[in-house]
């Protein structure tokens, strides 16, 4: 059911019956290493390119989710996913391995919740029984495409963020045991004129605030409804800007319950400048850490707001501003269906 202009209410409450999360060696040293299903000790994953390693991580996260749900890959009816590499080739190659009907998505770092929202919409409307959805990124592959190869050793400003090497996948069903997807608010493209590719958090913050405030208004709730409001990868800079914007707009937010995946995944002493980012950031932190906390009963209701900067290497070279977007999905604890 559509409520307001851009919020879906899922009356049938699709269930996240399992997840799969895979990370790299830097993530293995991080703050939530225990929440990954699989951690690699080598960025190459025994491949001859970072892009091939990227594809393998998505393969593995899909496989883990399917295994944990005690299903066969032939039972997956649709696969929705994406990444940051040109033409989302790592995800498309993973879709070839999976063999399920495939909808490739690009929302930059908002792709995880774009995929989860669309999967819930399809399940809620009885368009499928089992859908896999995921997002991934690889630090070295993304650095090579958007900035400079890591071998170049270029320095970055304090506003820059570290791209997560990881893949996170959720298996969504019309029945089963697990957290339930209750609503989603689809973001609008917000462009405040920022053009610095080393300040993604600052560019994305207004989009996150726009979507969160729209969600509150259209669903008829406020921040107190949720145990946590979780942004994708605003990191330190973007989170502070978002808090300032909420105050300016008169929106009440409990700052202790306003958390960010980009500030959750790594330890404070890891050299990640302002924090983490990447399409895999919100995917692995949400599908690993936060859903694990829900399954343990530590959290009951969360709103996950994945944020994305819709730039490309070409638009950066042409000195264009950075259009941004954020998609919000509410996930609540529920019994078996």
Q: CB under 8 Å to 29, separation ≥6 — which residues? A: 267, 270
pLDDT of residue 241: 96
Q: Which of 155, 92, 73, 107 is nearest to 283 (CA)?
A: 107
- Residues 6+ away with beta carbon under 8 Å from 224: 252, 254
**Two structure tokens written together for 312:** 């490309």
User: Tokens 């958007």 label which residue?
Assistant: 146
Q: Was domain 2-173 assigned CATH 3.50.50.60?
A: no
Q: Which uninterrupted H or E stretch holds 219?
A: helix 200-219
Residues 6+ away with beta carbon under 8 Å from 2: 8, 9
Q: What local confidence, expressed as pLDDT, does residue 204 receive?
A: 96
Spell out the per-residue pLDDT of the chain, length 337, in tens. Answer: 889 999 999 999 999 999 999 999 999 999 999 999 999 999 999 999 999 999 999 999 999 999 999 999 999 999 999 999 999 999 999 999 999 999 999 999 999 999 999 999 999 999 999 999 999 999 999 887 776 555 555 667 678 888 999 999 999 999 999 999 999 999 999 999 988 888 889 999 999 999 999 999 999 999 999 999 999 999 999 999 999 999 999 999 999 999 999 999 999 999 998 899 999 999 999 999 999 999 999 999 999 999 999 998 888 888 899 999 999 999 999 755 5
100 touches 79 (CB < 8 A): yes
Residue 259's DSSP bridge partners are 230
For 180-332, the fitting CATH number among 3.40.50.261, 3.40.47.40, 3.30.1440.10, 3.50.50.60 is 3.40.47.40
The ranges of the chain annotated as CATH 3.40.47.40 are 2-173, 180-332
What integer pLDDT is reported at residue 273 of this predicted model? Answer: 87
Structure confidence at residue 142 (pLDDT): 86
pLDDT at 153: 55
Distances (CA, A) of 167 to 64, 79, 134, 274, 284: 11, 14, 7, 21, 6
* 14 and 133 Cβ atoms separated by less than 8 Å: no
Q: Token digits for 24?
A: 């790299």
């Amino acid at each position: 059911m559509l409520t307001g202009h851009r919020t879906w209410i899922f009356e049938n409450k699709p269930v996240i019956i399992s997840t799969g999360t895979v990370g790299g060696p830097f993530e293995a040293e991080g703050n939530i290493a225990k929440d990954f299903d699989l951690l690699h000790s080598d960025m190459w994953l025994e491949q001859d390119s970072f892009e091939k390693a990227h594809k393998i991580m998505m393969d593995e996260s899909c496989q883990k989710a399917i295994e944990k749900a005690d299903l066969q890959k032939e039972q997956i009816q649709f696969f929705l996913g994406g990444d940051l590499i040109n033409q989302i080739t790592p995800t498309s190659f993973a879709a070839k391995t999976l063999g399920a009907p495939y909808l490739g998505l690009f929302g930059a770092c908002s792709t995880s919740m774009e995929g989860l929202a669309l999967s819930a919409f399809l399940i809620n409307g009885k368009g499928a029984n089992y859908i896999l959805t995921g997002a991934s990124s690889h630090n070295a592959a993304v650095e090579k495409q958007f900035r400079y190869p890591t071998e170049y050793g270029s320095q970055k400003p304090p506003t820059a963020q570290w791209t997560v090497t990881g893949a996170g996948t959720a298996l969504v069903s019309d029945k089963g045991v697990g957290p339930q997807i209750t609503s989603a608010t689809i973001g609008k493209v917000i462009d405040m004129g920022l053009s610095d590719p080393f300040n993604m958090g600052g560019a994305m913050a207004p989009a996150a605030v726009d979507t969160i405030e729209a969600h509150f208004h259209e669903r008829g709730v406020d921040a107190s409804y949720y145990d946590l409001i979780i942004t994708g990868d605003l990191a330190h800079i973007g989170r502070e800007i978002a808090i300032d914007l909420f105050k300016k707009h008169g929106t009440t937010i409990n700052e202790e319950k306003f958390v960010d995946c980009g500030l959750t995944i790594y330890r404070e002493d890891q050299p990640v400048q302002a924090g983490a980012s990447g399409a895999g950031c919100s995917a692995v932190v949400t599908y690993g850490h936060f859903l694990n906390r829900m399954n343990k009963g530590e959290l009951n209701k969360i709103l996950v707001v994945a944020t994305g900067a819709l730039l490309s290497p070409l638009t950066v070279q042409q000195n264009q501003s950075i259009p941004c977007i954020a998609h919000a999905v509410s996930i609540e604890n529920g019994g078996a269906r």
